[in-house]
Structure 1
């Protein structure tokens, strides 16, 4: 037993013996009897027995409780440090996320500008193709109209020539031309 435990033991013994004497003396001033002495001795013996029987289990319980509390404190301290570390990491990531968000926005802006330029170029190319197609269509229509006009002019000229020929050719000229044509066909 260590010095502190011994002091506690003797202090308890003196306290309980004094309490027993005071208890016995409180019987209306009667003298101390042998029954009271036995009671004090029994009480003292009980206290001593309980002290010797319970001191190791109580000490173990208290030491175990102290160790448990120390472990809990150490665990809580480790968790606090881990939480602070995680918090610092999250703050660092948050700062990087802001930079990354700015970078992504800038990248999307550049992609948007590139898409805009590409769309404008495609629109210009498409407009140029449409102009070229329209020019070809106009030229084709001109050719068609010109051919139609030429055919119409030819038809009118033929009609006019036919009418002129019918006016100017007499039935004798007609017979003569027919004979000349038949001679040429037979000769060929």
Structure 2
């Protein structure tokens, strides 16, 4: 039975010694291994959090830049439309001015043509009067040269009628 006691005591002392060894090993490992591993994991966690925060911040910044560029593009589109409208209005104004000038020039040409026609008519009337005067003078000369009797008045009337007819044309 002494052996049994020894076994029980040995087992208890071995058990206590094992527990003490485990506790010492735990504290040594905690001090040497757990603290650095825990510190490494905390650093890694902080680094990941920092990276996530940086990614969120950059995503927000990218979203803001996108909105800003969309606004710039919208403004550029509006400015482009305004420039096109301005150019179209300027082209229309220029076309209207060209048409107006062409109409004025056409009116001037028509007016000049009317004036020239009037001058031609006046000249023709003047020429006609000169010619009639010449005919009348010729007729009077014939009458005087021949000293026609009153019976030949028909010849004089005929010459005068010719003069009137050419006067009215």
Higher RCO (C-alpha 8 Å, min separation 6): 2
- TM-score by length of structure 2 reads 0.50
- TM-score by length of structure 1 reads 0.45
